[in-house]
Each structure stands twice: as structure tokens, then as C-alpha cells.
Chains A and B, each alone.
Chain A
Amino acid sequence: MITQMKKFIRQDTTLTVLLGLLIFLILLFGSILQDKFFSFDNIQSMGYQIPEFAFLALAMSIAMITGGIDLSVVANANMAGIMAGYVLTGAVFGLNSGMSDLTLVIIAILVALIVATLGGVFNGILIAKFSVPAILATLGTMTFYNGISTAITEGKGVVGFPDNYLSIGTSAPLGIPLVFYIFFIAFAVVAFVMVRTPFGQSIYLYGENRIASLFSGIKNEKMIIKTYALAGFLSGIAAIIMTSRVNSAKYNYGDSYLLQAILVAVLGGINPNGGRGKVTNVIIGILILQILQSAFTLFAFSPYAKRMIFGFMLLLIMVINFIIDKWGARSKSIAKDSEVVPQEAK
């Protein structure tokens, strides 16, 4: 039993640390806030809030596993949300087009997903075909997509969506929010794809050493475009969830999610240098962040205090990871010292 546990800990230190932290936080807040924390309302509201930024965090995570980053996730989501919003408010088809609300909603969802996916494809092309470093490419598209949103809306919100669109964000079959089901399914699918398909394996290999993956016959360029398209698609889902929850779309909605998405990815053990990290661990990162969020709300902390604590958390996790790595590296470096040290591929 103990040896099994030791083996488990050694196999995935990130998971162990995260699970420990999660349990600690649940116990901590549970004992302080007691019924307030474990109330149905609180748990259900977590179920509503998690998916909103979880999709952005997921998009960020897969980009980071390739050794890149996607700074455009929020801007892309807003752009998609605004386009969908125009469909929903009748700006595209006119108010008297005779289309049923349901048709409009379906078109709007498709528009959001297509726009966001195209946004991702554009990122992918810049990175794969023009060799723009991901951070610069997505910094550029972040500004650009945001610019498109601002320009076409002139900075105003697109508001007033049909009820059946809003029900995406508000309905809760069996007491569990619909968006939570979507979140759960999407994560399961992405986690499965990452671990069990050649596409997922290629992402990891590329993230570790992209010259070696090129020499291994992996179609780097196609794979990168697909990965960023997937990140875009996930941003599109986030767009639908965000707009349906707040009944509006705006160019600067969810600005703070960019930081949170990176934070959760790093918290979940995604290595910013690429090639390492598990999507399933990111879920635990998301749960931790959400538990903190909810507890802070119950404590009536200001959003500013939350920001402070999140910043602190991010640093703390990075420092802990650093210490664990150093400790792990020391115990491993037996008799390897005098070998030619490989220069890490850039």
C-alpha cells in the first residue's frame, strides 16, 4: 500500500501536489464556511462559473503543450461572441426575416464556432507557415481580433438575445448546469485525444523538440494549424457560454480570463516550454481556482483582493514546482555528471 502510494507520488508529482492542495482547500473552507460552502447554491454556482473560463484554459493548455501560447483566446472568443450576437439580435438577417428563434440560435452557435475556429486557423498559419513565434503571433492577433471587435461595435455591447439562447447558460437539467455537461464532455474528449491519438502524441513530441518531430516525419505545420484551430474552436464554445450567461457580447468582456487561463494551465502542471503536462491535471487546477473564487466571494473579498491572491498563487506554484524539480533532479543525477551535457534544442 505504502509502496504503491510512493510509486503514485513519484509517477505524477504534479497530480499529487494538486490533489493535496484541492483536499486541503476543501477542508479549510469547509470548516470555516461550513454549510455556506457546501450549500447546493454554492456548488451549483460553481458549476455555472467553471465552464466559462475552463474552455479558455483548455485552449491555452494545448497551445502551451506545443511549446507556444495563445494570447488571443479571449479576444477571439469576444470576436466570435459579437458575430454570434449580431446574428441573434437580427442585425444580420433582419428582424422580420421570419426565421424562428431556434434557427437563429443554431446559426448563431455555428457562426461563433466557425469565426473562432477561423481565428485559430489564422494563428496556426502565422505560426506554422510564417514561423512567427507563437507569443508574437497571438499577441498580434489578440490586438487585431480585439481591434475588429472594437471597430465593428464601436466599443458598444451587443445586447438582447432570445430566451432559448440564454437558456444555454442558465438551464440546469437534473440540477446540474447544462454548461457543466458541455465542459465535462469537452474535457473528456480533449484529454482522450491528447493521450490516445497520433494527433495528441504529435503535439507532445513537437512541444518537446520540433526539429526532431520534423525529422520523425510528423507533419508539423498541419499539426500546428490543427492545434490552434482546436484552441480557436474551444474559445468559440467559451464565447457561446459567456454571451448566453450575461445576455450580451462586448469587445472587452472577460479580460481577466487571459491571466486566469495561463494561471490555471501552469497550476495544472503544463510546462510553458512545451512537451509536458496533462489536460486532466488542468481540470484539478480549474477546480482549485474555482473553489478559491467561490470562497472569496463568500468571504466578500473584493475582486482586487482576488487578483492579488491569484497572482500570489501563481508565483507560489511556480516556486513549489521549481523546488520539486530541483530536488528530483538531484536524486537523479547519479553518474551522469561527466557525460557530454546535451545542449537543449531551442
Chain B
Amino acid sequence: MPGNILEANNISKTYGGVHALDNVSMCIKAGEIHCLVGENGSGKSTFVKVMSGAITPDNGEITLNGHTYRSLNPIDSIREGVQVIYQDLSLFPHMTVAENISMNKMVALGKKLVNMAEVRKTAEEQLARIGETMDLDCPIDEISMANRQLVAICRALSLDAKLLFMDEPTTALTNIEVDRLLKIVLELKEKGLSVVFISHKLNEVFEVADTITIFRDGRKVGDFNSKELSYHSLIYHMTGRNVEYPRYVRKATDDNIRFEIRGLSRPGHFEDVNVKMRRGDILGITGLKGSGREELALSLFGLNPSKSGQVIINGKTVSIHSPTDAIVSGLSLLPEDRYTQALFPTHSISENISSASLPSITTKAGLLDRKGERQNAINMVAKLHIRTPNVETSVQNLSGGNQQKTVIARWVLTDPEVLILDGPTVGVDIASKVDIYEQIQSFASQGMSIILISDELPELLANCNSVMVMRANKVVGFLSNEELEKPDAADRLQSMMSGGGDDFQPSIPVLEAQA
């Protein structure tokens, strides 16, 4: 069939009896943007790996540019113009922009010697194709995440990509950077490139997609024209059920101020932050990446010392210089990056849960109360619906959602007055998300004060009874419970985050300077 760059027919792949891909067929047209959506474990990544030749399917055949392959190997795949940009980008951090762009091409051409002039020329040409310029001699680890993403695109283009797979390309980018990236993707499409875009951020999917293919449990649910789908129907197809996030209602009657931030500042990170919270309040803090929200959270947790201002818990000014101080003062933080900042992958669920409460499970004789540790873990597993055979299982064997619940359990066990959750549902599938929201709300109902840091508006609207917006290190807005219930709340938050709807403000260089 002309016009199709890729046709996959009846692809199946099983691992240990489980269907990672079950009889999946799909076509990708030349010059279209095709989005793959589905929950974690639904088969998207396996599909990409099959198309790149990294894994061989048990059944099925793949046709690329009219050539049919029963088993595709990586070299054939590249020769047919398939390029994959993985989430980690696979760049060389200590090598220059020019080398990173050109390296794969040099290897593919079978070069033996390095011709620096040619390396630079290739890099310049590819950057020109996407209409960007960069310092070619700058090492990758000194440029912003957005520019790294562009380098990875240029590298793929240098290899004459006809079909570009992008796996979660926007996760680490700020909204403005995302817009720039999506604009480039749309331009590439105009030039005839096919792009397969994998993203959890559904608004982005709707923004760029021509066709959306939905995966669930290793099967293809269907191909949809993006105009046919609504947000709700998309989620319905992904999860197989209608998902409604319950809206939080504060029930506590004690209106005394329990937690207060007064004029907290750290120039360049956050300035003059003022917050007052009661029992059972869920305060949302939102803003773009680099707006100061994460810096503020780390500061409250003792990892980013503030220059001035006070933090007051239960009427007492506390001085927090380390996470230990924070926990003792009744303040806990669920960090944003689960894998690097929270998990002990080979340790058991029980040890992961107890890790922030070691002092409280230590007996007077200075010994760990292993029985108590286990019992705590069992209680938490039940409370948070963590799906696991037992508490001795190591967390690396859990799904992303259950790992996240384990980490939340760790912080709940410290019995904090104030619990800060930084991106509690990043990389978590929708079913677990609903679970986590229910738990957050139930903890608040039991009296905990919760600060929820997020840039997912539905998440904020469902869970918070007030939201604070940060932009460029300052608090720029505040929405009360009543304002959040109005239909324009999402739009208001969005415009406050990005600066009054002004899409063309030149804030990328500013953000880069901070990175």
C-alpha cells in the first residue's frame, strides 16, 4: 500500500507466558504524527523495541518502505530509516554537541578516522534543518535538557531518518521548552518525516497527533483520528473504565494555623513565599519546571538553605538544616524523582518503608525492632493497597505505581504534621493514580496538612483546596477553594503559570542560565 512507511502485521511477543504484545497490527503513514498511548506495561515500549530491531517478535512480520521482514535486525531497521530517541536520550555527557550529533553517522558510515571538519559540518547541517543554532563545542552536560533533546533529534536526522520514534520526549522539559519541541516536530512532519510520539501527557498528544493508537494489556485497542477522541474517551480506552477523580472536600473543624511560611527567600530560587495551612488542608503548588517550586520544597526539607524568612510549625519557629531536622520537626518530603531519590531497589518493601523511621523503630537498647518494622509494613501495604505477595519482596519487582505507593508509605509512617508530595503520580498508571488520590485525601481527612506539587492541572483541581502558582521564582497567584471550583480554574492556573497567556516571552535563555 503506497503511503505507508511502516506496516506491522500480527506482531506477538511473550515473556514467561505473559503477552507483552498480542497480535498487534499497525500502519504508519509517511509524513504523519502518530501517537502511541497506553498505561505502563501496555506494550508500547515493546512495540518500539520490535520496530527498532532490538527484540525479535515471536510472530508477525514488518514491512518497511515496501520491504518485508520476518525478523528485523537493528542494522536493517536503521537502513530503512527507523530511528528511536529513547527517554534517556543516550547521549555522551562529556563529548561536544558536534560529536554527539555526528557520532552515529560516522559509525554507520564505517569511518576509521575522525575528520573534525566533517563532524562539525554534519552537526551544523542538521541543526539548520530544525532551524536551531548551538555552540558546537559545548559539552552535552553543560546544555539544557531541551537542547539535549534537540541534539538527539539532529543525531537521528543525520542518519536519514524517515520514521522517528520519540519515547516520552517531554518529561524533563518545561512547558515552554515543550512548545518549542512540538513546533519542531510539526515542522519535521511538514518536511515529510513520520514521527511516532509516545507520551503520558495527553494534552500534548492531542496537540500534535494525526492518529492515536491506544494500547492496553499488550493489545491494540484501536487507531483513532485524533479529532474523534476526547480526553475522557481516550482515558476510557486506555484503562477500560470511566475514571473520575474524586474532588477533595476539607472536613476538619480546627481552623487554627498549624503550619506557616513567612517571607521565605533564597534569591534566584524563590522569593518572599508566604503560606498558612490548617489541619486537613491540601495546598497545591504549581508552576513550570524551574519556577522555584522544587527549590522551595527542598528548602523546607533542609536541603536548600533559605537566606531569610521563617518556617513555623504549631506556633514554634523551626530551624531545619537537614532532612533529619525536617522529619523531627514533623515535615516530610516525597521527592520528585522516584528512582534516584527514593527507591532502594534491591531492598524489601519493609526496609524501604522503614528507612525514614529508623529512630522510631529503635528500641531503648539501640536495636532495630524488626518485628515492629514488619508489622508497620504490613499495615501500610494494606492501607495503601500495595499489590505484592508479601512485605519481603524487593521493590524492584513491583510496578511503578506500587513502587510509588511504597515510597508514600515511607513518608506516611513518619507521621508528619506536613507532608510535601512533589509529583506523586509521575510515571504512575491511571489506576494507581486514582488509588493514590484517594489515599492523599484520606490522610488529609485524618488531619495531615499536605502540600501537593504538580503541573498536572486535573490532579491539582481534584485534590487541592487551594493552589499557589509560582513563576520565575516568585509567587504570582493564589486560587482559593471557591475559585478552584469555578469552570475557568484550569485556564486561570495555566495562564498564571506561563505569564498571562504571553506565549512569546523569551524565557528559554533565562531557564537555561539556571540549569
B66 within 8 A of A: no
Compute how far the CA of A10 lies from the CA of B373 in the bound complex, rounded to whole angstroms: 23
B172 within 8 A of A: no
**Which residue numbers of A lie inside 8 Å of B, CB to CB?**
196-198, 200-202, 204-205, 208-209, 211-219, 275-276, 331-340, 342-345
Compute how far the CA of A178 lies from the CA of B63 in the bound complex, rounded to whole angstroms: 76
Interface of A is mostly: loop
Asked if A198 contacts B358 (CB within 8 A), the reply is yes
Compute how far the CA of A196 lies from the CA of B87 in the bound complex, rounded to whole angstroms: 40
Compute how far the CA of A214 lies from the CA of B335 in the bound complex, rounded to whole angstroms: 11
Asked if B345 contacts A196 (CB within 8 A), the reply is no
B151 vs chain A, min Cβ distance (A): 18
A196 — nearest CB in chain B belongs to which residue? B367
Asked if A212 contacts B15 (CB within 8 A), the reply is no
A213 — nearest CB in chain B belongs to which residue? B355
Asked if B342 contacts A215 (CB within 8 A), the reply is yes
Contact of B322 among A202, A219, A338 (CB under 8 A): A219
Compute how far the CA of A275 lies from the CA of B347 in the bound complex, rounded to whole angstroms: 8
Asked if B345 contacts A208 (CB within 8 A), the reply is yes
Asked if B344 contacts A209 (CB within 8 A), the reply is yes
Contact of B323 among A217, A276, A344, A345 (CB under 8 A): A217
B40 — nearest CB in chain A belongs to which residue? A339
B43 vs chain A, min Cβ distance (A): 6
Given A198-B358, A216-B356, residue A337 in contact with residue B339 (CB < 8 A): no
B31 within 8 A of A: no
Asked if B344 contacts A205 (CB within 8 A), the reply is yes
Asked if A198 contacts B46 (CB within 8 A), the reply is no
A/B interface sample: 17 pairs, CB < 8 A? A197-B367, A200-B368, A201-B354, A204-B347, A208-B347, A212-B341, A213-B355, A215-B333, A215-B335, A219-B322, A333-B15, A338-B20, A338-B42, A338-B44, A340-B45, A342-B343, A342-B396
Compute how far the CA of A345 lies from the CA of B326 in the bound complex, rounded to whole angstroms: 24
Compute how far the CA of A209 lies from the CA of B395 in the bound complex, rounded to whole angstroms: 13
Compute how far the CA of A334 lies from the CA of B399 in the bound complex, rounded to whole angstroms: 12
Residues of B within 8 A of A338 (CB): 20, 40-46, 218
Residues of A within 8 A of B284 (CB): none
Hey, what's the 0/1 contact readout for B58-69 against A, CB within 8 Å counting as 1? 000000000000
Residues of A within 8 A of B87 (CB): 340
Compute how far the CA of A138 lies from the CA of B358 in the bound complex, rounded to whole angstroms: 29
Residues of A within 8 A of B399 (CB): 339
Asked if A212 contacts B368 (CB within 8 A), the reply is no
Residues of B within 8 A of A204 (CB): 347, 351
Asked if B41 contacts A335 (CB within 8 A), the reply is yes
Residue of B46, B341, B396 with most chain A CB atoms under a 10 A cut-off: B341
Residues of B within 8 A of A217 (CB): 322-324, 326-327, 356, 414
Given A217-B323, A275-B346, A336-B397, residue A197 in contact with residue B356 (CB < 8 A): no
Asked if B368 contacts A209 (CB within 8 A), the reply is no
Asked if B355 contacts A197 (CB within 8 A), the reply is no
Compute how far the CA of A336 lies from the CA of B45 in the bound complex, rounded to whole angstroms: 11
Asked if A342 contacts B326 (CB within 8 A), the reply is no
Contact of A219 among B18, B324, B354, B366 (CB under 8 A): B324
Asked if A201 contacts B341 (CB within 8 A), the reply is no
Contact of A197 among B46, B218, B339, B368 (CB under 8 A): B368
Asked if B427 contacts A340 (CB within 8 A), the reply is yes
Given A335-B16, A339-B399, A340-B427, residue A209 in contact with residue B43 (CB < 8 A): no
Residue of A208, A219, A340 with most chain B CB atoms under a 10 A cut-off: A340
Compute how far the CA of A204 lies from the CA of B400 in the bound complex, rounded to whole angstroms: 23
Asked if B15 contacts A214 (CB within 8 A), the reply is no
A to B contact number (C-beta, < 8 Å): 121
Residues of A within 8 A of B88 (CB): 343
Compute how far the CA of A216 lies from the CA of B358 in the bound complex, rounded to whole angstroms: 9
Asked if B16 contacts A216 (CB within 8 A), the reply is no
A346 — nearest CB in chain B belongs to which residue? B340
A338 vs chain B, min Cβ distance (A): 5
Residues of B within 8 A of A214 (CB): 303, 323
B31 vs chain A, min Cβ distance (A): 28
Residues of A within 8 A of B347 (CB): 204-205, 208, 275
Q: Which positions 353-397 of chain B face chain A at CB distance < 8 Å?
A: 354-356, 358-359, 362, 366-368, 370, 396-397
Closest CB pairs A-B (n = 3): A334-B16, A335-B18, A342-B339
Residues of A within 8 A of B397 (CB): 332, 336
Asked if B341 contacts A211 (CB within 8 A), the reply is yes
B500 within 8 A of A: no
Contact of A275 among B20, B322, B326, B344 (CB under 8 A): B344
Asked if B344 contacts A198 (CB within 8 A), the reply is no
A271 — nearest CB in chain B belongs to which residue? B346
Compute how far the CA of A219 lies from the CA of B339 in the bound complex, rounded to whole angstroms: 20
B472 vs chain A, min Cβ distance (A): 26
B90 vs chain A, min Cβ distance (A): 11
Residues of B within 8 A of A339 (CB): 40-41, 45, 399-400
Compute how far the CA of A34 lies from the CA of B333 in the bound complex, rounded to whole angstroms: 63
B433 within 8 A of A: no
Q: Which positions 297-319 of chain B face chain A at CB distance < 8 Å?
A: 301, 303
Asked if A218 contacts B17 (CB within 8 A), the reply is no
Compute how far the CA of A335 lies from the CA of B398 in the bound complex, rounded to whole angstroms: 11
Given A209-B340, A332-B397, residue A198 in contact with residue B355 (CB < 8 A): no
Contact of B358 among A202, A275, A337, A342 (CB under 8 A): A202
B474 within 8 A of A: no
B410 within 8 A of A: yes
A207 — nearest CB in chain B belongs to which residue? B344
Residues of A within 8 A of B44 (CB): 338
Asked if B43 contacts A215 (CB within 8 A), the reply is no
Q: Which positions 477-514 of chain B face chain A at CB distance < 8 Å?
A: none
Q: Which positions 401-454 of chain B face chain A at CB distance < 8 Å?
A: 410, 414, 427
Compute how far the CA of A214 lies from the CA of B340 in the bound complex, rounded to whole angstroms: 11
Contact of A345 among B46, B339, B370 (CB under 8 A): B339
Residue of B44, B218, B340, B400 with most chain A CB atoms under a 10 A cut-off: B340
B323 — nearest CB in chain A belongs to which residue? A217
Compute how far the CA of A344 lies from the CA of B414 in the bound complex, rounded to whole angstroms: 26
Given A201-B358, A335-B18, A337-B46, residue A212 in contact with residue B324 (CB < 8 A): no
B16 — nearest CB in chain A belongs to which residue? A334
Compute how far the CA of A201 lies from the CA of B366 in the bound complex, rounded to whole angstroms: 12
Q: Which positions 106-159 of chain B face chain A at CB distance < 8 Å?
A: none
Residue of A201, A208, A217, A339 with most chain B CB atoms under a 10 A cut-off: A217
For the A-B complex with A205-B355, A209-B344, A275-B347 known, give 16 more contacts whose Cβ atoms are closer than 8 Å. A198-B358, A198-B359, A198-B368, A201-B358, A208-B347, A212-B344, A214-B303, A218-B358, A275-B346, A276-B346, A331-B16, A334-B18, A335-B18, A338-B41, A340-B168, A342-B396
A335 vs chain B, min Cβ distance (A): 4
Residues of A within 8 A of B342 (CB): 212, 215
B86 vs chain A, min Cβ distance (A): 10
Compute how far the CA of A338 lies from the CA of B303 in the bound complex, rounded to whole angstroms: 35
Compute how far the CA of A296 lies from the CA of B161 in the bound complex, rounded to whole angstroms: 63
Compute how far the CA of A218 lies from the CA of B359 in the bound complex, rounded to whole angstroms: 10
B455 vs chain A, min Cβ distance (A): 19
Given A334-B18, A340-B87, residue A198 in contact with residue B362 (CB < 8 A): yes
Residues of B within 8 A of A216 (CB): 323, 355-356, 410
B44 vs chain A, min Cβ distance (A): 7
Hey, what's the 0/1 contact readout for B159-185 against A, CB within 8 Å counting as 1? 000000000100000000000000000
